Structure 1
Amino acid sequence: MLTAGRAALLAVAAALSGCGTDLGAPLARLQPGGNAPSTSLALRDGAVTVRGPDSYCVDRTASRPADGFAIIASCARISGEGSPPALDALVTVQVGTLGSAMVDGSEAAVAAYVRTPEGQALLADGQAVSVSDVMQQPGLVLVAFRGTTGTTDPLSPPAWRAFFDIGGRLVTLGVRPYPDVPLTGDAERRLAEQAVSAIRASNRGQRS
């Protein structure tokens, strides 16, 4: 029989391996200019609504609502008009299937798994990465990681990943800096926390 901790670790592994963790591909899918900005988008047949922090919009063209996947960027980048916010980076969101929630009450298990070699291998779709920081908050785990020497897509400063639950579903949120916009790791973490707060606010009553 699986212990609760072991079951949580297996759930983390399954979630990481199936959520499209390569943060480089969304940079190519972002469709700047010519899109009417939308501040929110319903995923998984309306089960979860995602939105970004202030000045952020959802790229409907590049997102896949039926698959629970959304790309969020500054409204200025998506529309091609105006100036981007001070914290300007790409945000990706993957909402899992019903029953995939596993962070609430298992924050320590999730945090422990992403520090293992297996967890690190899954964080960036097989690329060699090292985890530089893991933070736990009630119902939330934040992970900072970067590519190691020799990778084709080094992540510098570290990319951040957040894991939390909404309405019985695991939500995986990634923050990736743009090559032309330097952000500190601390700034990326703050953006990740702001994005998590925005999604939670859009789904009040569905915390876990």
Structure 2
Amino acid sequence: MIRFIAVLCGVLSVTACTLTDTATSPATRSVALGEGAVVATTPEGYCVDEVASQTARDFAILAPCATLGAQAGVPSVIGFATVQVGPAESGSAAVDELALRDYLITEDGARLLSQSGDAADVDILSSQAFNSQVMVHFADAGPPPFAGLQQEEWRAFTNINGRLVTIGVRGLAAAPLTEGPGATLLKLILAGVQAAATTIEEATPETSPNAG
């Protein structure tokens, strides 16, 4: 992870470059989680960190492809994202999105958002709920999930294939994301996380019964 932060700092200083001269690894743009029930596909310029991700625990890390040695251009919004998929039936927590949003702004909810589990560390900056999705922007005074990341986080909760999916987005402490870019990146990541059946149907063209 230290290497990731160092490379990301380098990417920030050369955003006009594509880094194709140093890119050698194939880009991994999607990962299946939750026993294959959920597929996370990255937005343009982002790849799955296959080394740091823990797919056996239904946890994935998404980062700019250039930081992972993959051939791709630098994305317009540079940050770091995590995707966590819960067990079967856990998605019921997000069915009533208004109740979940209201819970997250309580002391117990702040404790859930905090990396350290200390509700006093969390300052809710904004929240919204719609279509079984809840998005929360907050500042966490505790240590970030990985050293070198900013204290503000944009987090989303949603129900996909009956499983609770949690997405977190942060920028670098040295180049933090602001409200607009942070929310944009969260929505881009969220848009790429879908039920596996939906992903397969979209990827497979329909065959006419009269074909052939």
Q: Shared fold (TM-score greater than 0.5)?
A: yes
Equivalent position to 1:180, from 174, 179, 182: 174
Q: Match of 2:92?
A: 102
Distance in 2 between the 1:89 and 1:114 partners? 24
Q: Match of 2:54?
A: 64
Distance in 1 between the 2:25 and 2:109 partners? 36
Deviation at 1:45, TM superposition (A): 3.0
Q: Match of 1:161?
A: 155
Deviation at 1:181, TM superposition (A): 2.8
Instruction: Please give the per-residue CA displacement for 1:42-68, whole angstroms capped at 9, x wherever unaligned.
Output: 123322111221111101111111211
How many matched pairs? 178
- Matched AA of 2:163: R
Equivalent position to 1:142, from 135, 146, 152: 135
Distance in 2 between the 1:43 and 1:29 partners? 25
Equivalent position to 1:53, from 36, 40, 43: 43
- Matched AA of 1:173: I
1:131 is the counterpart of 2:121: no
When residues 182 and 86 of structure 1 are mapped into structure 2, their CA distance, relative to the original with a 3 A threshold, is: farther
8 Å CA contact 1:147, 1:156 repeated in 2: no
When residues 188 and 132 of structure 1 are mapped into structure 2, their CA distance, relative to the original with a 3 A threshold, is: same
Give the TM-score normalised by structure 1.
Answer: 0.75
Distance in 1 between the 2:92 and 2:112 partners? 17
Give the TM-score normalised by structure 2.
Answer: 0.73
8 Å CA contact 1:39, 1:57 repeated in 2: yes
1:195 is the counterpart of 2:189: yes
Q: Match of 2:112?
A: 122
Q: Match of 1:7?
A: none
Distance in 1 between the 2:99 and 2:47 partners? 33
Calculate percent identity across the aligned residue pairs: 33
When residues 157 and 45 of structure 1 are mapped into structure 2, their CA distance, relative to the original with a 3 A threshold, is: closer
- Matched AA of 1:67: R
Bigger radius of gyration, 1 or 2? 2
**Higher mean C-alpha displacement, 53-62 vs 95-104:** 95-104
When residues 180 and 169 of structure 1 are mapped into structure 2, their CA distance, relative to the original with a 3 A threshold, is: same
Distance in 1 between the 2:175 and 2:71 partners? 17
Identify unmatched segments of 5+ residues in structure 2. 8-22, 201-212
Identify unmatched segments of 5+ residues in structure 1. 1-26
Give the RMSD, CA atoms, in angstroms: 2.8
Deviation at 1:158, TM superposition (A): 2.5
**What SS is found at the alignment partner of 1:204?**
helix
Distance in 1 between the 2:28 and 2:153 partners? 25
Deviation at 1:193, TM superposition (A): 0.8
Deviation at 1:204, TM superposition (A): 2.1
Deviation at 1:203, TM superposition (A): 5.4
